[in-house]
Amino acid sequence: MVANQKSDFEVQVTHIVGDSFVSTSRNEGEKPIPLVLGDKFKRTSPFAILVAKGSYAEMTLQTEAILRIGQQSVIEFRNPNYLRIFNGSALLLLSKQQSLNLETNGTKIQLTGRGTLMFESPKGKNLKIIMLEGKALLSSAKAKQSLQAGELVLVQAGNPDSGQTINVDLPLLLATSRLINNFSAPLPSQSKLISAAKVQAVRLKKRYEALIGNTNDQNQLRLWALRKEERQLKE
């Protein structure tokens, strides 16, 4: 299915905090339609989901994937397997092997895999992808790159190659991310997330230097280095 081909796309809204909307037009004169908990609607793509400040939305897609969208985010659905991120962050749970395209203004990645991941593009340009559990293969115009649980890759706008893979602290990220904890029901992959965090925690104890991840109020991941001697002082 090509990106510009129109298709009917079914979505069910499973959680709402604050104000979120669906827009089927880029015409500023047309008002977006508020999302309501329990709604099951069908739209002809492309259409966009808009999530306001201090708001969050969760929906089940017709591909059986679960999508959680963070505050101040705009994500366009080109078709069931093609997402364009204009701004913000989201969590995606792929319960079965699936391929989809993630695009920003300057990046285009095909992701094939199964598991739970986050993606973020604060200004709709660079694209950050974090694998929380499971694994995926990222393919760009000139490169392919595997992504395992606890790994982050930053794809820079205008660069056809995938970025460098680095580790994030999964236990800390799972404990602080609002895309995981700001919802009434846990993700179906919760047990897998906990297992992945435990495995990584054991592995990182043996490393000289680890990268610690945290999120700010906009769900934007921040990283800093923590050296071995600093960890010993904290312990």
The string of pLDDT tens digits covering residues 192-225 is: 999 999 988 887 765 534 444 444 544 444 444 4
User: Residue 167 corresponds to which tokens in the numbers above?
Assistant: 């580790």
- Its pTM stands at 0.82
- Average pLDDT of 22-39? 82
Which domains does the chain carry?
A: 8-234 (2.60.120.1440)
Measured between its terminal Cα atoms, the distance across the chain in Å is 53
Q: What angle do CA 117, 122, 123 make, to 5 degrees?
A: 135
Rounded CA-CA distance 174/181 in Å is: 8
Confidence of residue 163 (pLDDT cuts 50, 70, 90): confident
Q: What is the structure's pLDDT at 173? A: 92
**Predicted confidence (pLDDT) at residue 148 exceeds the cutoff of 50:** yes
Q: What is the structure's pLDDT at 27? A: 59
Q: What is the structure's pLDDT at 188? A: 95
**What b/e sequence results for 61-79 when a residue is b if at least 16 CB atoms lie within 10 Å of its CB, and e otherwise?**
bebebbbbbbbbbbbbbbb
Percentage with pLDDT > 70 across the chain = 80
- Average pLDDT of 142-169? 86
Q: What is the structure's pLDDT at 110? A: 94
User: Residue 206 corresponds to which tokens in the numbers above?
Assistant: 């043996």
Contacts 24+ apart (CB under 8 A), 178-183: 178/56, 178/70, 178/215, 178/219, 179/56, 179/68, 179/70, 179/89, 179/90, 179/91, 179/118, 179/219, 180/91, 182/17, 182/56, 183/15, 183/17, 183/56, 183/58, 183/68
**Predicted confidence (pLDDT) at residue 229 exceeds the cutoff of 50:** no
Nearest C-alpha neighbor of 145 from the set 164, 132, 126: 164
Dihedral of CA 213/51/87/14: which sign?
positive
Confidence of residue 37 (pLDDT cuts 50, 70, 90): very high
Q: Which of 34-38, 128-132, 155-159, 210-214 bottoms out in mean pLDDT, i.e. has the lowest?
A: 210-214
Backbone region of residue 219 per phi and psi (left: phi > 0; alpha: psi in -120 to 50; beta: other values): left
**Predicted confidence (pLDDT) at residue 60 exceeds the cutoff of 90:** yes
- Average pLDDT of 106-127? 93
C-beta separation of 142 from 163 below 8 A: no
C-beta separation of 215 from 176 below 8 A: yes
User: Residue 214 corresponds to which tokens in the numbers above?
Assistant: 């945290």
The single residue listed with the structure tokens 């505050």 is 71
**Predicted confidence (pLDDT) at residue 80 exceeds the cutoff of 90:** no
**Predicted confidence (pLDDT) at residue 35 exceeds the cutoff of 50:** yes
**Predicted confidence (pLDDT) at residue 143 exceeds the cutoff of 90:** no
Average per-residue pLDDT in the chain? 84
Q: Which of 25-34, 74-83, 166-175 bottoms out in mean pLDDT, i.e. has the lowest?
A: 25-34
